[in-house]
Amino acid sequence: MTWEIIFIFVLLGFAIISFIWERITADLTSLTVFCILLFVSMITNSDSLPSLEEILGVFGNSALLTIACMFIVSAALERTGAIDLITAYLRKLVKLPYRAFVFIMVLGVGAASAFINNTPVVIVLMPVILSLSKEMGLAPSKLLIPLSYASIFGGTCTLLGTSTNLLASGMLRDAGHAPIGMFELAAVGLPILLFGSIYLVLFGERLLPNRETLTSILTDEERKEFITEAFVRPGSNLHGQTAKNGNLHKGRGIRLLEIIRRGIALPGDPNKQELQNGDRLLLACRPSGIAEAQSMKGIKIESELADGLETIATNEGALVEGVVTPYASVTGLTLSEINFRQRFRMIVMAIHRKGANQRERLSSLRLQPGDTLLMMGSTEAIDSLANNDEIIILDRPRVPARSLRVKMPIALCTTFAVVVMATMNLIPIVASVSIGVAVLLLSGCIKAKEAYASVEWSILVIIFGMLALGLAMDSTGASRLIAESMTGLVSYLAPNHLQNIIMLALIYVITSTFTEFLSNNASVALMVPISLGIATHLGIDPRPFVVASCIAASASFSTPIGYQTNTYVYGVGGYRFFDFTRVGLPLNLICFMLTIIIVPHLWSF
């Protein structure tokens, strides 16, 4: 074993541990791996490690351009209202029994996710499902996991269904094999969609928890508060004291949210700031606390000019939940850096992330896609935020862009043309989707700024880093060593006529395990080179192994962190980590069995 192989294994171990530990984001982990490879290859001039030009060559992988273009196509379909067609259809089905509704919902969402990136499908439909669950008298937790799983089912059916399929197809082509066809994976994906739907219909109601969202567990009085602006009277005994020491909190149902001094909101915890005469105070008062706020000494609430200060406004406010979108500009920033209160005129009361409510040090917590925010604000502020692409308000469906509805046929026809051209192999898929994006931009279905914002650059960075690591594993012989070890183990434990099947199962299990704790794209980027190495060592066609890796990378059901759509519904539905394991593990086994049975019959070794 050379030092280069040892170095690659150490780097691989670092990447896996960092992905699981999550002290830094997955894209930053991938970027770190990429930079380490660049640095070591430059200072060592090793013949085994890929050269600088070879490492930088991963940026020329056509699969990455295809993935970026599909993000834009999906965004155009969303903005022109194509996903709203599912919304309108589901609203007609609310009177159906639970099982019938779930079956139709799963099939409909699965069909859409086969051609549209599943993340925007889930994000757009989450508020709709929350609204429909109220009409049906169901807890949202009974429908949100099926929504996420349905989008995953659809992603296994076509080449465009998920970025992992496009990535695996590109890697297969770069290795000198035919790329994956548009509907080639449907032979496995459609049975997964069908059997997965049947499983959710038969067992979902029993296995899914009965949990409420954050705001639904509050009483009506707790859910509704009045956002009141008051000011500290000149000569008040509150001058120089904190809110706590000045007994500002002695009234029940009154909370200090913000202190505004000379027109600027003071940073940090307002309850620890010393008050000054003339300070404007933003108070949250429950209905029962309004009278006390009016009678408290030292502050004044009125609707007319007094003591030379500005007019005070009192507005009815409410608590709402919102989810940070994957393409939000606020991602990676703290509430203080965003100046959240001033920008959105909303107060963040709590942040729900991966099963835990964050209440302490909210101002220093960096927002991540999928974070569920418990916010409070006036009705006007909530209405304004509902039309924002940064945060999706969960208690109301998003307002459709009516002006773009007339362009929906263009977006649908463009997508259909992309699918047809790729299916018939008239031109390479990267060319068809690139032309499709150009048509969407020129026709006004999506603006250039919106198109760039819709690309999930973090996913592309993960792919870049993992492709570079996969390239290094191949050039140093690390992939070959892993392949030889795996084939040696299987040949030792299994009879000859079962070795290929067992190897297929082993590749599926490893990829599936990686996906549950890393990311689907990282899993494919790591496992496809290993699959190619195993096939070469055995002297067989690698296609069955690559197909199994594609399905395993998408079929992530047992944890809320393996697949992005699971992460989104995790916080919104009030789920716990093991809710996904209880419902998803049988689904993982179903997908595993279907893949192991179908793949060897359709893709010969």
Between residues 256 and 480, the one the model is more confident about: 480
* pLDDT tens digits, one per residue of 307-340: 333 434 445 566 778 888 877 778 888 887 887 8
The overall average pLDDT reported for the chain is 82
* CA gap 140, 30 in Å, rounded: 35
Q: Which CATH class is domain 215-312?
A: alpha beta
Question: Looking at domain 320-393, which CATH architecture does it have?
Answer: 2-Layer Sandwich (3.30)
* pLDDT tens digits, one per residue of 268-313: 777 778 888 888 887 776 655 555 555 566 666 544 333 333 434 4
* pLDDT tens digits, one per residue of 346-399: 878 777 776 566 655 666 778 888 788 878 777 777 877 877 778 888 766 665
Closest CA to 281 of 319, 314, 317, 320: 314
* CA gap 48, 441 in Å, rounded: 44
Would 215-312 and 320-393 be classified into the same CATH topology?
Answer: yes
Task: Report the run of H or E that residue 386 belongs to, with start and end.
Answer: helix 379-386
Asked whether the predicted pLDDT for residue 1 surpasses 50, the reply is yes
Closest CA to 282 of 238, 239, 246, 312: 312
Asked whether the predicted pLDDT for residue 259 surpasses 60, the reply is yes
Q: What is the mean pLDDT of residues 393-413?
A: 74
pLDDT at 303: 42
**Count of C-beta atoms within a 10 Å radius of residue 477:** 18
HEC assignment per residue over 91-156:
HCCCCCCHHHHHHHHHHHHHHHHCCCCHHHHHHHHHHHHHHHHHHHCCCCHHHHHHHHHHHHHHHC
pLDDT at 304: 35
**Count of C-beta atoms within a 10 Å radius of residue 59:** 12
- Residue 217 DSSP class: G
Structure tokens at 509: 């299990």
Q: What is the mean pLDDT of residues 108-121?
A: 88
* pLDDT tens digits, one per residue of 186-219: 999 999 999 999 999 999 889 998 876 655 545 4
Domain ranges of the chain: 215-312, 320-393
- Residue 568 DSSP class: H
Q: What is the mean pLDDT of residues 141-150?
A: 93
Between residues 346 and 7, the one the model is more confident about: 7
pLDDT at 43: 87
pLDDT at 300: 66
pLDDT at 310: 40
Backbone angles phi, psi at 48, to 5 degrees: -80, -40
Residue showing tokens 């395993």: 552
Share of the chain above pLDDT 70, in %: 86
Asked whether the predicted pLDDT for residue 600 surpasses 70, the reply is yes
* 256, β-bridge pairs: 283
Angle, alpha carbons 67-68-72 (nearest 5°) = 115
Between residues 591 and 46, the one the model is more confident about: 591
Asked whether the predicted pLDDT for residue 405 surpasses 60, the reply is yes
Q: What is the mean pLDDT of residues 485-491?
A: 87
- 3-class SS at 374? strand
* CA gap 590, 200 in Å, rounded: 12
Closest CA to 145 of 577, 591, 589: 577
Judged on CB neighbours under 10 Å (0-12, 13-18, 19+), 3 is exposed
Share of the chain above pLDDT 90, in %: 28
Task: List, in sequence order, every beta strand (DSSP E) within 379-460.
Answer: 391-393
Burial 333-347 (b: 16+ CB within 10 A, else e): ebbeebebbeebbbb
- Residue 241 DSSP class: S
pLDDT at 592: 96
* CA gap 555, 196 in Å, rounded: 11
Closest CA to 464 of 383, 390, 514, 521: 521
Structure tokens at 136: 């049906």
Asked whether the predicted pLDDT for residue 456 surpasses 80, the reply is yes
Q: 539: pLDDT confidence band, cut at 50, 70 and 90?
A: confident
Contacts by 443-446 with C-beta closer than 8 Å and gap 24+?
Answer: 443/407, 443/410, 443/414, 444/404, 444/407, 445/76, 445/79, 445/80, 445/404, 445/407, 445/410, 445/411, 445/414, 446/72, 446/75, 446/76, 446/79, 446/80
Asked whether the predicted pLDDT for residue 118 surpasses 80, the reply is yes
Asked whether the predicted pLDDT for residue 552 surpasses 80, the reply is yes
Q: What is the mean pLDDT of residues 155-162?
A: 90
C-beta separation of 478 from 472 below 8 A: yes
Which range among 169-183, 223-237, 432-446 shows the weakest confidence by mean pLDDT?
A: 223-237
Q: What is the mean pLDDT of residues 174-183?
A: 90
Burial 269-288 (b: 16+ CB within 10 A, else e): ebeebebeebbbbbbbbbee
pLDDT at 252: 55
**Count of C-beta atoms within a 10 Å radius of residue 308:** 7
In the chain, the amino acid numbered 35 is: C
What's the full length of the chain, in residues?
A: 605
pLDDT at 323: 86
**Count of C-beta atoms within a 10 Å radius of residue 42:** 12
Half-sphere exposure of 593 (CA within 13 A, CB side): 8
